């Protein structure tokens, strides 16, 4: 299971970085593109969490990627 964070890069663009990694796994121009790639990386590693950070450096969303099991499924129906 692999967890990824989508964060703003100080040089521009967005990074997808695996938990406890030194470098980012992917650098994209848009947050949406980077989020999609991070979810694919997590899916290829038997699922996990993808946390999306906003421009204000606060995490604004978190998605569980199958086949990982979310022990506390969200009530929202967006994802």
Task: Give the three-state DSSP class for 33.
Answer: helix
pLDDT in tens, 25-63: 999 999 999 999 999 999 999 889 999 999 888 999 988
Tens digits of per-residue pLDDT, 11-31?
Answer: 999 999 999 999 999 999 999
pLDDT bracket for residue 67 (50, 70, 90): confident
Quick one: pLDDT band at residue 74, thresholds 50, 70, 90? low
C-alpha to C-alpha distances, 77 to 39, 54, 74, nearest whole angstrom: 18, 20, 8
Sign of CA dihedral 8, 10, 14, 19: negative
pLDDT given at position 76: 64
- For position 35, what pLDDT does the model report? 95
């Amino acid at each position: 299971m692999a967890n990824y964070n989508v964060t703003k890069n100080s040089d521009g663009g967005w990074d997808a970085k695996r938990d406890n990694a030194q470098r980012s796994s992917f650098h994209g121009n848009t947050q949406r593109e980077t989020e999609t790639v991070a979810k694919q990386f997590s899916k290829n590693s038997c699922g996990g969490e993808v946390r999306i950070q906003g421009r204000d450096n606060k995490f604004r969303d978190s998605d569980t990627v199958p086949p990982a099991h979310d022990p506390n499924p969200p009530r929202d129906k967006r994802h």
